[in-house]
Amino acid sequence: MKSDISDTVRITMLEIGQLVLNNGDPDLLLYGSAGSGKSWLAAQKVIIWALQYPDLPILVCRKYMPSLRITAMELIRTLLNKYQIPYKENKSEATITFRNGSRIYFRPLHKERKGEELTHIRSLNIGLAWIEEAVEITRSDYLEVKRRIREYRGQPGLQCILTFNPDVKTHWIYQYFWLGNKGTKIHMHYSLNPFLPDEFIRELEALKEVDEQLYKRFTKGEWGETTGQIYQNWRIVDKLPDLRDLQLDIGVDFGWENPSVALLIGRKERKMYIIDEVYQRYLTTDEFAQKIKDMIERWQVPRNITLYCDPSSPGSIQELYNHGLNAKPAERRQVMEGIRLCQGYKIYIYDKCENFKKEIRNYKFEQDKEGNILEKPVKAFDHAMDAMRYVVQSTGLRTLKPASSSIEDEEFQDYE
């Protein structure tokens, strides 16, 4: 078929790229370790097939729209600009159209209300689909996407691509595809990606000395076992209550090679909302302070909002204070005491907080050689967890604003 790719365009792919590009099986699972290039290859395949197959309708989806915008959607836009491929974007409809008639639809897969159908994709007839972070969705979400992959020019639909880091073996993806022997599975390891910075690789390999299951899942890219998750009373949301009804604070954990973290947190009674995050390595204090100010301005919260900071870094706290921020040391408590206070809340995570979501999923207790759970957290995936803890352990059980009918007392549901 006629391609829309100019002869001057050069698309650099990882060595495994041709295997991914040429695979046409109904289900293609790209899974493996962190940083292995799964999403990059999926985005490249979506673009190349869109240009090679005129009028091809494509669905790119994730559980929630805010996450989709800053991951797969941004990646595809970045690659199109990098390769200087012409396209038209309709931001209000979340679509990208090519001059050969192919179109990419970006859609979330969440249900607004319990029992509601996925009406936003029901009208689509798709030839190709890419589900980013497939471990976030349910099996029914996946099956609904499959029902949208109907035909392309009278032929069966091309493919459904799933990209993800392996979770635990109780997850429906393992049960359905591995135990059910379905789909083509391509395992990807970070060593296949020559573009990773050395510090990222060191961090992955350091998990070997920290926790066997985390090392297995994130470094080796293999399925793990269910063990000792610290926080289980949480869920992801794409809507927040009126911030004026909440007690607002910011938790701060300092870093350099580890990320510097600032969390905007709102609470009412026993509900805690993780509203926004700063989460970045190699920030100077000036840069960190500005990003915190930008977050405060973005949400139009009081400028004198209290920052509860890691008490072991008095110099950094003073520097934030010198930048006009109301920074103070968090109250010193035992880690487990702070964790127990946090466990007393239902935790609602605004979907755009990608790093917080990743940490809370993988923050876990240590185990002894016999597999017994110990009351000691593994020293990994804990930077945002510490920032949350600093707020809660500093304010303790002080009286928060009374509950109102504006916040629904929803039951926690299994997001998997």
Per-residue pLDDT tens listing for the chain (416 residues): 334 444 456 677 777 888 999 899 999 999 999 999 999 999 999 999 999 899 999 999 998 888 899 899 999 999 999 999 999 999 999 999 999 999 999 999 875 544 444 446 777 889 999 999 999 888 999 999 999 998 777 666 789 999 999 988 888 999 999 999 999 999 999 998 888 888 889 988 988 887 788 789 889 999 987 678 899 889 998 899 999 999 999 999 999 989 999 999 999 988 999 999 999 999 999 999 999 999 999 999 999 999 999 999 999 999 999 999 999 999 998 899 999 899 989 999 998 899 999 999 889 988 777 767 787 898 999 999 999 999 999 986 443 443 333 444 444 433 33
CATH code of the domain containing 298: 3.30.420.280
Expressed as residue numbers, the domain containing 184 is: 17-200
Burial code (b: 16+ CB inside 10 Å, e: under 16) for 373-396 equals eeeebbebbbbbbbbbbbbbbbbe
User: Is residue 339 domain-resident?
Assistant: yes
Residue 372: exposed, middle, or buried by beta-carbon count in 10 A (0-12, 13-18, 19+)?
A: exposed
Residue 13: exposed, middle, or buried by beta-carbon count in 10 A (0-12, 13-18, 19+)?
A: middle
27 with 176, same domain: the answer is: yes
64 with 127, same domain: the answer is: yes
165 with 37, same domain: the answer is: yes
User: Is residue 12 domain-resident?
Assistant: no
Nearest to 303 by CA among 324, 274, 328, 330: 324
The pair of structure tokens assigned to 346 is 């239902």
CA gap 134, 66 in Å, rounded: 15
Query: Who contacts 162 (Cβ-Cβ below 8 Å, separation ≥6)?
Result: 27, 28, 29, 30, 31, 131, 134, 142, 173, 183
User: Is residue 7 domain-resident?
Assistant: no
Q: Provide the terminal-to-terminal Cα distance of the chain, rounded to the nearest Å.
A: 39
Q: What pLDDT does residue 150 have?
A: 82
Last residue of a domain, one of 152, 182, 200: 200
Q: How many domains does the chain have?
A: 2
User: Is residue 26 domain-resident?
Assistant: yes
CA gap 117, 296 in Å, rounded: 36
Nearest to 33 by CA among 160, 166, 124, 207: 166
User: Is residue 412 domain-resident?
Assistant: no
User: Is residue 343 domain-resident?
Assistant: yes
194 with 300, same domain: the answer is: no
CA gap 236, 63 in Å, rounded: 10
Q: What pLDDT does residue 51 have?
A: 92
57 with 115, same domain: the answer is: yes
CA gap 194, 72 in Å, rounded: 21
31 with 171, same domain: the answer is: yes
Our CA angle for 274, 69, 262, nearest 5°, is 30
51 with 162, same domain: the answer is: yes
Q: What pLDDT does residue 217 have?
A: 87
The single-letter code of the amino acid at 35 is G
How long a stretch of residues is the chain? 416
CA gap 246, 293 in Å, rounded: 19
CA gap 245, 407 in Å, rounded: 9
168 with 85, same domain: the answer is: yes
249 with 351, same domain: the answer is: yes
Nearest to 331 by CA among 265, 398, 283, 255: 398
Residue 296: exposed, middle, or buried by beta-carbon count in 10 A (0-12, 13-18, 19+)?
A: buried
Residue 404: exposed, middle, or buried by beta-carbon count in 10 A (0-12, 13-18, 19+)?
A: exposed
Burial code (b: 16+ CB inside 10 Å, e: under 16) for 50-59 equals bbbbbebbbb
CATH code of the domain containing 168: 3.40.50.300
Q: What pLDDT does residue 413 have?
A: 38
Contact between 225 and 166 under an 8 Å Cβ cutoff? The reply is: no
108 with 62, same domain: the answer is: yes
Helices then strands (H, E): number in the chain? 14, 19
User: Is residue 70 domain-resident?
Assistant: yes
169 with 115, same domain: the answer is: yes
How far is residue 233 from each of residues 177, 281, 348, 359, 410, measured CA to CA in Å? 28, 28, 9, 14, 12
User: Is residue 81 domain-resident?
Assistant: yes
Q: Token match 């899942």: residue?
A: 217
CA gap 134, 30 in Å, rounded: 10
Nearest to 181 by CA among 23, 27, 18: 27
257 with 379, same domain: the answer is: yes
